[in-house]
Amino acid sequence: MAANENQLIEMLPGAERQALLVHCESVELMLADTVGDSVLPVPQVYFPVDGFVSLLTSVDRHPGLETAMVGREGMLGHEVALGRMPPAQRVLLQGNGRAWRVSGPEFVRQLASSPALRHCVERYMCTQLSQLAIAAACLRFHRIGARLARWLLMGHDRAHADSFHVTHELLAQMLGVRRVGITTAAGALQRAGMIEYHRGTLRVCNRSALELSACSCYAADQQAYQRLLG
């Protein structure tokens, strides 16, 4: 599997992979971009290669809460496979990067002609459902510090770098807590030597210790991915 490509695409047999890629365009995604919009008449599907994105869902007038994180292990817009428009979610980039983009109608045509692609997308959707269930329980039962450690590990996995840009304010929004809670939890992780944080740049210093501090949901996420897609 190529280290610098989307893993779902790399899972496809050679001929079916090329049949999909010939209809894809490589696009650069910047921090200010919003790559998903439920009101577009023609939906698009994205396969991230670099960086990662958070999917946010808002209720009433409350700030959006992160419901999923997607990097090169996944895709955006898989709902097109069900004949539905993508849901009303805000897609927030957590770092600049590249992605393969294909129009919704062409993606549907590729699904019809490629059993391997259809099988891969179905398994990925099962993985997403599993992770959504885990995230709901995590939000209810686990403390901020453990949830923060889990989020940082997930970001570290998808950033493919020890350092990435994130603010306390953004972390508070992602986890649905007050900023003071993030400041306290991040301070504890930093004093323990697990992370360093300076002017919006966070660096993972001791991943092993961070894994021990994370809630069990991180391991559950990994197991779900390996079981369905590994």
pLDDT along the chain (230 residues), means of 10: 76 96 92 51 82 85 84 91 71 86 95 95 92 91 97 93 91 93 97 95 97 96 85
- 52 and 149, same domain (yes or no): no
Instruction: Identify the pLDDT of residue 85.
Output: 63
Number of domains in the chain: 2
Instruction: Identify the pLDDT of residue 144.
Output: 97
The whole domain housing 157 covers 143-214
- 55 and 117, same domain (yes or no): yes
Q: Residue 71 corresponds to which tokens in the numbers above?
A: 């990097």
Residue 38 lies in a domain: yes
Residue 200 lies in a domain: yes
- 97 and 168, same domain (yes or no): no
CATH number at residue 178: 1.10.10.10
Instruction: Identify the pLDDT of residue 37.
Output: 45
Residue 224 lies in a domain: no
- From 88, 118, 137, give the residue that closes a domain: 137
Determine whether 82 is exposed, middle or buried from the number of CB atoms within 10 Å of its CB (0-12, 13-18, 19+).
exposed
Contact 109, 136 (CB under 8 A): no
Nearest to 50 by CA among 91, 102, 96: 96
Output the pTM of the full model: 0.89
- 147 and 131, same domain (yes or no): no
- 71 and 166, same domain (yes or no): no
Residue 84 lies in a domain: yes
- From 106, 137, 168, give the residue that closes a domain: 137
Cβ neighbours for 69, distance < 8 A, ≥ 6 positions apart? 52, 53, 54, 55, 94, 151, 154, 155, 158
Nearest to 29 by CA among 53, 5, 10, 9: 53
Residue 225 lies in a domain: no
